């Protein structure tokens, strides 16, 4: 298992982005969480195989229909104990 942290910038709050991430992660079998950040971006912590994380990364760069993703910062992260995928505040 590998862990990645993503910061998604653009019009990504108020457009269902976190719900989109949760649904995408669930369909890929990825564990972790997503939350809005104070600067208007969305953080995603994801735990999965290299292939699962690559697939999720591609989906984050597209986002839901109403989103306008302007950039995604991606970095390795420490493996945390998580179960399922959740939206946090």
Residue 81 corresponds to which tokens in the numbers above? Answer: 């104990």
Specify whether 4 is catalytic. Answer: no
**Residue 50, H or E segment:** helix 50-62
- d(C-alpha 88, C-alpha 22), whole Å: 11
Mean pLDDT on 3-28? 98
Beta bridge partners of residue 81, listed in sequence order: none
Active-site residue, selected from the candidate residues 5, 11, 35, 36: 36
Give me the domains of the chain, ranges plus CATH numbers.
2-80 (3.30.70.100)
Per-residue pLDDT tens for 22-71?
Answer: 999 999 999 999 999 999 999 999 999 999 999 999 999 999 999 999 99
Q: Which two tokens stand for residue 32?
A: 């972790």
**CA–CA gap between residue 27 and residue 39 (Å, rounded):** 28
Residues 37, 6, 34: CA angle, nearest 5 degrees: 55
Annotated catalytic residue 61 = no
The yes-or-no verdict on residue 89 having pLDDT over 90 is no
């Amino acid at each position: 298992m590998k862990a990645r942290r993503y910061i998604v910038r653009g019009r990504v709050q108020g457009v269902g982005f976190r719900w989109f991430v949760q649904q995408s992660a669930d369909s890929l079998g990825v564990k972790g969480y997503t939350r809005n950040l104070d600067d208007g971006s969305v953080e995603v912590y994801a735990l999965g195989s290299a292939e699962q994380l690559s697939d999720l990364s591609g989906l984050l760069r597209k986002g839901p229909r109403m989103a306008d993703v302007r950039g995604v910062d991606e970095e390795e992260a420490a493996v945390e104990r998580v179960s399922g995928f959740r939206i946090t505040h």
